[in-house]
Amino acid sequence: VPLFFGIFAPNFSINITMINITLPDKSVKQVEKGTTAMDIAMSISEGLARNVLSAKVNGEVIDALRPINEDATLSLLTWNDDDGKATMWHSSAHLMAEAVEQLFPGVKFGIGPDIENGFYYDIDFGEYQVSDADFKKIEDRMLQLAREKQTFSRREVSKAEAIKYFTEKGDEYKLELIDELEDGEITFYESGTFTDLCRGPHLPNTGMIKAVKLLGIAGAYWRGDENRKMLTRIYGITFPKAKELTAFLEMMEEAKKRDHRKLGAELEIFTFSQKVGQGLPMWLPKGAELRERLEQFLKNVQKKMGYQQVITPHIGKVELYKTSGHYDKYGEDSFHPITTPVEGEEFFLKPMNCPHHCEIYSSMPKSYRDLPYRIAEFGTVYRYEQSGELHGLTRVRGFTQDDAHIFCTPDQLKEEFKSVMDIVMIIFRALDFNDFITQISLRDPDNTQKYIGSDENWEKAEKAIMEVAEERDLDAVIEYGEAAFYGPKMDFMVKDALGRKWQLGTIQVDYNLPDRFELEYVGSDNEKHRPVMIHRAPFGSMERFVAVLLEHCAGKFPLWLTPDQAIILPISEKYNIYAEKVLNLLKNSEIRALIDERSEKTGRKIRDAELKKIPYMLIVGEKEEKEGMVSVRKQGEGDIGTFTVEEFAKMVNEEIDRLLDVKI
């Protein structure tokens, strides 16, 4: 019917069915059935129509050229909408596939979706050897095809027809995908010489793609399964304007400057050595001092919150990990045990601190009056990570967790969880971390038998976590089925300079280890009971935290944390003695400072201090010496005036107190 409709519409106007389209501003347009989003855009303005990438009809994103056949709400999607961008990038994946297929005939295609920043396509290149040297060629062909303004034509096909097409083409990957689809829900999209199995939606035409950049090439296992064939994944991004591509590339360059690996070396925070081994960071003096300040800060908070510090060894007998259950799960895929030469006893480098802490718990009998029992340790652990996984300080083989374990009764769980969350918030605030994601991981409600612990306890814990998040006004993402088998958890995630997410703080409820270690306490009823355990690490690990912090503040650490808070710049060597005097006064006020005694010009000393991101520069010359003052320059801001050393010290300490204003 729709086919005839178009042709004979004028003669049958009396039979035309009208539909109501509600636009985002709530206005309603009455149009003929079969009108497209593009038609409606055109009726509003031609300029708008030129920018429409796709449309959201009754909540579903569809092609702007697809007929609408019933009353609907409609939003026209442009580059300013995430869904619009997604359409552009998904179509770009097709465009790239078309270009690749023309340049490398016979290649086979896996999947090619849009992603957060662009798109990729997984391709089996067969005998071809492709590398980023081929990018130029592919990009040029893509632009050439884009200029042809190819349309994307959507076609519903039967399963048999779909199978026939890809059998003839010889693409087993598409056939596997089709196999999992129901007859009647299969659609093809055809653009230029390329036809793909695809749900859509797509752009009105490829001409809207004005700028193309292929970003990378990587192996990717078919369907994410490491036992299956590795396809070649090409990442790319496209834009409706060349200028946007330039801006994107500039942003990427900026992000690289924030890379913690670069900043960590420049600011002398940490280093790696091939001789020591990959993934084994070493903290340089400035980094070690900074880390100690972070640790001290947390220790102080924890002390106020009733934690006790403990210290445990770096190795533990194999039996310890058999009891904890970690041996069965990870024994093979971990660092292998070390053995004593005479007795042949086996020890593991500790991959976590909990088993040791459980043994501390049971070293003395506990009564309900001893709970909650909170023990903390900056525990260094070692984990085998596949070599390809290592990444700066964010993914290493040896790292220190700001670990603590809380043993409590099920009734105390909620209060304890809340106080742990408060610690996380205190830390995030002191470091000005406000852009983080909170994730709550709960049981899969349809599959509760795969979790250890009673339903009653799980429900209690899950309810407690949700309530705490709500009471503290946290906008948490809830993931069902993401809980560990031993308990629900809450994680805090932060993005790095390139937008990759890293998990930092974690709070986990555990019903498993108390069982395995047979932990007990005597209740008021004089009966033995099993405590609940909470694992928690507000920083996550010192290494990863400092890495994310470096990127977060682009190397400009908060004043209380930064290695050197001020540098004294004497105008000439004549004022070095006065500079020493200023330095001593600052030391008395617990301000970390140093003197640039080189015989350089002031401009040069300022430049170097600016590049080292030292927060305050104190310039001293004849005038300052005579008056007992310092001229203060703030990093990144410039001259802020002349002060006495005491005034300056007070100003700095007040600034620090504001940041560390911790109310417990």
Residues marked as catalytic: 354, 383, 401, 403, 405, 489, 535
Candidate residues 59, 184, 224, 313; the one interacting with RNA per rule CB under 7 A: 224
Question: What is the pattern of x (binds RNA, CB under 7 A) and - over residues 125-144?
Answer: ----x-xx------------
Neighbours of 140 (CB within 10 A): 13
- Eight-class DSSP state of 180: T
Contacts of 279 (CB under 8 A, 6+ apart): 385, 387, 390, 395, 396, 397, 398
Per CB under 7 A, 391 contacts RNA:
yes
Select from 539, 537, 525, 300 the least CA-distant residue to 409: 525
Neighbours of 31 (CB within 10 A): 17
Q: Are 122 and 112 in contact (CB under 8 A)?
A: yes
Q: State the minimum distance, in angstroms, from the CB of residue 387 to RNA.
A: 3
- Eight-class DSSP state of 269: -
Q: CA-CA distance, 515 to 315, in Å (whole number)? A: 22
Q: State the minimum distance, in angstroms, from the CB of residue 440 to RNA.
A: 16
Question: 341 vs 388, which CB is nearer to RNA?
Answer: 388
Helix (H, G, I), strand (E, B), or coil: what is residue 508?
A: strand
Per CB under 7 A, 217 contacts RNA:
yes
Site for RNA in 310-329 (CB under 7 A): 326
Q: State the minimum distance, in angstroms, from the CB of residue 330 to RNA.
A: 4
Q: State the minimum distance, in angstroms, from the CB of residue 244 to RNA.
A: 20
The interaxial angle of helices 172-179 and 159-169, nearest 10 deg, is 160
Q: CA-CA distance, 214 to 361, in Å (whole number)? A: 55
- Eight-class DSSP state of 541: B
Question: 90 vs 535, which CB is nearer to RNA?
Answer: 535
Per CB under 7 A, 10 contacts RNA:
no
Per CB under 7 A, 277 contacts RNA:
yes
Q: CA-CA distance, 557 to 290, in Å (whole number)? A: 10
Per CB under 7 A, 633 contacts RNA:
yes
Q: CA-CA distance, 227 to 83, in Å (whole number)? A: 34
Site for RNA in 495-534 (CB under 7 A): 498, 500
Q: Are 488 and 509 in contact (CB under 8 A)?
A: yes
Give the position of tokens 């533990």.
316
Q: CA-CA distance, 459 to 461, in Å (whole number)? A: 5
Candidate residues 35, 232, 302, 441; the one interacting with RNA per rule CB under 7 A: 232
Select from 196, 189, 185, 213 the least CA-distant residue to 110: 196
Please tell me the total number of residues recorded for the chain in this structure: 664
Question: 34 vs 236, which CB is nearer to RNA?
Answer: 236
Candidate residues 239, 272, 521, 545; the one interacting with RNA per rule CB under 7 A: 272
Question: 241 vs 634, which CB is nearer to RNA?
Answer: 634
Helix (H, G, I), strand (E, B), or coil: what is residue 391?
A: strand
Give the position of tokens 């946290």.
474
Tokens representing 2?
Answer: 């729709």
Question: 146 vs 424, which CB is nearer to RNA?
Answer: 424
Q: State the minimum distance, in angstroms, from the CB of residue 58 to RNA.
A: 32
Question: 76 vs 568, which CB is nearer to RNA?
Answer: 568
Question: 359 vs 610, which CB is nearer to RNA?
Answer: 610
Mark the segment that binds RNA (CB under 7 A) among 90-98, 186-194, 224-232, 309-317.
Answer: 224-232
Helix (H, G, I), strand (E, B), or coil: what is residue 278?
A: coil
Question: 45 vs 278, which CB is nearer to RNA?
Answer: 278
Question: What is the pattern of x (binds RNA, CB under 7 A) and - over residues 603-622?
Answer: xx-xx--xx-----x-x-xx
Question: 389 vs 590, which CB is nearer to RNA?
Answer: 389
Widest CA span of the chain, in angstroms?
A: 101
| DSSP-assigned beta bridge partners for residue 629 | 644
597-622 in b/e form (b: 16+ CB < 10 A) is: eeeeeeeebbebbeeebbbbbbbbbe
Per CB under 7 A, 218 contacts RNA:
yes
Select from 49, 36, 48, 43 the least CA-distant residue to 6: 36
Per CB under 7 A, 337 contacts RNA:
no
Question: 5 vs 330, which CB is nearer to RNA?
Answer: 330
Candidate residues 388, 434, 475, 526; the one interacting with RNA per rule CB under 7 A: 388
Q: CA-CA distance, 426 to 402, in Å (whole number)? A: 15
Candidate residues 144, 278, 339, 584; the one interacting with RNA per rule CB under 7 A: 278
Mark the segment that binds RNA (CB under 7 A) among 226-234, 465-473, 520-528, 548-556.
Answer: 226-234
Candidate residues 35, 371, 624, 648; the one interacting with RNA per rule CB under 7 A: 624
Query: The dihedral of CA 14, 15, 16, 22: what is its sign?
Result: positive
Mark the segment that binds RNA (CB under 7 A) among 178-186, 227-235, 284-292, 420-428.
Answer: 227-235
Per CB under 7 A, 384 contacts RNA:
yes
Question: What is the pattern of x (binds RNA, CB under 7 A) and - over residues 571-610?
Answer: xxxx------------------------xxxxxx-xx--x
Select from 556, 551, 549, 655 the least CA-distant residue to 615: 556
Q: CA-CA distance, 262 to 335, in Å (whole number)? A: 29
Which amino acid appears at position 42 of this protein? M
CA 197 to chain centre: 31
Per CB under 7 A, 216 contacts RNA:
yes
CA count, 13 A, side-chain hemisphere, 644: 6
Per CB under 7 A, 220 contacts RNA:
yes
Question: What is the pattern of x (binds RNA, CB under 7 A) and - over residues 188-207?
Answer: --------------------
Per CB under 7 A, 330 contacts RNA:
yes
Tokens representing 397?
Answer: 């083989």
Question: 169 vs 495, which CB is nearer to RNA?
Answer: 495
- Judge if the upstream peptide bond of residue 488 is cis by omega within 30 degrees of 0: no
Q: State the minimum distance, in angstroms, from the CB of residue 611 to RNA.
A: 5
With CB under 7 A, what is the number of residues at the site for RNA? 69
Q: State the minimum distance, in angstroms, from the CB of residue 109 to RNA.
A: 16
Interface with RNA by CB under 7 A: which residues? 129, 131-132, 216-221, 224-226, 230, 232-233, 235, 259, 261, 265, 272, 274, 277-279, 326, 330, 333-334, 351-352, 383-392, 395, 484, 498, 500, 571-574, 599-604, 606-607, 610-611, 617, 619, 621-624, 631, 633, 636, 638-639
